[in-house]
Chains A and B, each alone.
Chain A
Amino acid sequence: MNRTIILWRLASFAVAAGFIALWQLIANLKLVSPVFLPGPDRAWAALVHGFSSGDLCSKLIGTLEHMAYGWLAASIAGVAIGAMIGSSRLMRTYVAPSLEFLRPLPVSAIIPVAIAMLGLTQGMALFVIAFGAIWPIMLATIHGFAAVEPRLYEITRSLQMSRLAVIFKIALPSASPDIIAGMRLSLTVALILSVVCEILAGLDGLGHWVLLSARSFRSADLFAGVILLGVMGYATSLAMAVAENRLLKWQRVGH
């Protein structure tokens, strides 16, 4: 059983390698102008060169920092605000509908407003990333709080638990799958907004790197940056999946 899975994986890697070979062939035959499409060999060389000179490394760390700070701020604020709204019937009637109305707003539209308020600064990027990443987390928290088994709430009433105790002992643990799913969604949002903010504000990061490479037609550097962004997206979502597995283990044990 296990061996077949490994064999399929290997076959799948072989197919991916085939696509890369095809890409190399197209680049070698110059079917597409090399100004736009460098071969994988040139992209790889640019990647290695960028890392050995330390340039790409600092850009990578820059983007990671923007993304991580914004996402962490959004996670903390999103869970706190979501818990506040979700645990109160009054807030759920009066505040939650307004939030639902704001949800489909393309969050990048807030960027000009943030620029007008904060200028082209790190603070602006942080605000935009946190603002964009907060929605999935906050709405998931509200939803998770609303979906808690009603009998658990009855128990808290008969035990006369305080509101804080209810939130920390009952509602948060039972809403944690929703919250973590929301955090995973907003990770993608945070990465996209980091790149956009770097492009617009010229902040140190991969977004700025790919734009500069494009402006000066260094397509190999450009592809290296894009590949690195893909790796980042993959690595962060993988890390999130591992964390989710760890954190929610107790839930599966009970059933």
Chain B
Amino acid sequence: MTIDRAKPLLLPLTVLAAFEAWARAAHLQSDSLAPPSAIMAALIGALADYSIPIATRDTLFSAFAGLAVGSLIGLALGIAFGISDVLNRLMEVTVEAIRPIPSIALLPIALIALGFGYRMEIVIVAFACIWPMLILSGAAVRGIEPRLMEVSRALRLPPAQRVLKIIIPAALPRIFVAFRLSAGIALIVAVTVEIAINPIGLGAGIMLAQQALRPDLMLAYLVWIGLIGYGLNVLLILAQRRLFGRAALG
């Protein structure tokens, strides 16, 4: 059992060890590569002098704020479109016209309208998060057991009560799946905006390390960004299992 668990680790550990050995044997001098031990040292150094923690805070703040705004808008529209077939059909062309715009293409617009900083990043992240939320929560609402809707009609619940007491609880497992997807997208878009143009956060940190010809620090940032992405993913999957169990699979 323990051997089976160790098997997946074998490849990355071998690669790292081989790379370390090669880098030492060849006395590696490079602007783009650094031995794993140097990357580790740079990572610990950057964690200790608070440059990575501050950058992480900036990135996660923008990503989560954008995620919150975008998923709330997407959820509201998705529920509205899911309830009302008329609205859904009327808005189809508009949604299909705006949705394919790559989120990053809005970057120059956000740049001249809002300038550098948190706000433009949040707007772009929010735009990217609206669509998966809108489409998937609309589908989730349409997939609700019709008898539940009949019950709400029989009880003569007012629309607000119907949404809060019947629709959202019934569709929640699938809405959470959409939220998990959007959270991944939010982090990706936030880092991309920072790398492309915005001078805050982890993306800006990794660009700066590259321009300063510090491959060890650059790769340390890369490892850290990978860990954040992996951690966020694991956390959300655990939350989904804990909260909804098998219900979220449907």
Interface residues of A (CB under 8 A from B): 8-9, 11-13, 15-16, 19, 35-36, 93-98, 101-102, 104-113, 115-117, 188, 191-192, 195-196, 199-200, 206-207, 210-211, 213-214, 217, 219, 222-223, 225-226, 229-234, 237
**A196-B195 CB under 8 A given contacts A12-B89, A105-B226, A109-B206:** yes
Q: Is B94 an interface residue (CB 8 A)?
A: yes
Residues of A within 8 A of B90 (CB): 8, 11-12, 15
Residues of B within 8 A of A113 (CB): 32, 210, 218-219, 222
Residues of A within 8 A of B31 (CB): 116
Q: Is B101 an interface residue (CB 8 A)?
A: yes
The answer on a CB contact under 8 Å between A107 and B188 is: yes
B16 shortest CB reach to chain A, Å: 11
The answer on a CB contact under 8 Å between B225 and A112 is: no
Q: Whole-angstrom distance between the alpha carbons of A105 and B224 in the complex?
A: 10
A86 shortest CB reach to chain B, Å: 16
Q: Whole-angstrom distance between the alpha carbons of A22 and B94 in the complex?
A: 13
Taking CB atoms and an 8 Å cut-off, the chain B residues in 181-228 that contact chain A are 184, 187-188, 191-192, 195-197, 202-203, 206-207, 209-210, 213, 215, 218-219, 221-222, 225-226
Residues of B within 8 A of A232 (CB): 100
Q: Whole-angstrom distance between the alpha carbons of A145 and B109 in the complex?
A: 43
Binds A, one of B7-15, B18-26, B74-82, B154-162: B7-15
17 A/B residue pairs, CB under 8 Å, sorted by A: A9-B92, A9-B93, A12-B90, A12-B91, A96-B8, A101-B226, A104-B232, A107-B188, A108-B203, A109-B221, A112-B209, A113-B210, A113-B218, A116-B215, A199-B197, A214-B109, A229-B102
Q: Is B244 an interface residue (CB 8 A)?
A: no
- Which partner residue on chain B sits nearest A209 by CB separation? B108
